[in-house]
Amino acid sequence: MTGPRPVCVNGAEIAGLPARPVPLDELGAVLVAEECTQAVRDAAWAYLITRARTERGTWTVACVGLALPVLLSVATALTKGFRGDKHDIHADVLTGFLQWLNEVDLDRPAILARLRWAAFRHGYLALREALDAPLLTEELDELSARSARFRSAPPQRLGGHPEALLMAAVATVSSPSRRPP
């Protein structure tokens, strides 16, 4: 994105962009701006994905870079509170995005939103698999050490013999001053 020859899109090929080479950092700023329409976003993503599908390499990395804020929010949401290794789930979020990059229908609206959901689904499946996996010995030792801090005790007795408590409850209910109207 920097240097004498940054990677650029041809703005003339994307409706809504200036008819000049547009560096990727400028394109990213345009795509997240409030005034950017969904049509412009979809046209830009269709352009980027078409280049990624045909040329691979640089354009695939460009797609990941421009989608990084979305991918990070998905990965963060999925692993919030997860105590295991988050890296595998984050990798699966990226894998889902990259797989769907080759399959997403470019003629339907909300291209990035559909890529986001593909990344989420893939990451979610990885999270479920991680949660369903058997615990490692180290994890079991940690859980055991944590639970040793809490001790169980028998329930506190509520004063008196159970029959005396029952008789007191019946007396309270059958008292004329306690009857419902």
Element (H, E) at 119: helix 111-132
Helix, strand, coil fractions of the chain, as percent rounded to 5 = 65, 5, 30
Phi, psi of 35 (to 5 degrees): -80, -5
Query: Exposed, middle or buried, 105 (CB in 10 Å: 0-12/13-18/19+)?
Result: exposed
The contacts of residue 111 (CB under 8 Å, 6+ apart) are 41, 42, 45, 46, 49, 104
Distance between CA atoms of residues 94 and 72, nearest Å: 9
What totals of helices (H) and strands (E) does the chain contain, helices first?
A: 7, 2
For residue 6, the model assigns a pLDDT of: 86
Domain extents for the chain?
A: 8-133
Supply the pTM of this predicted model. 0.71
Distance between CA atoms of residues 28 and 68, nearest Å: 10
For residue 117, the model assigns a pLDDT of: 96
Tell me which residues of the chain have a pLDDT lower than 70. Answer: 1-3, 135-162, 165, 174-181
Distance between CA atoms of residues 139 and 160, nearest Å: 44
Distance between CA atoms of residues 171 and 165, nearest Å: 10
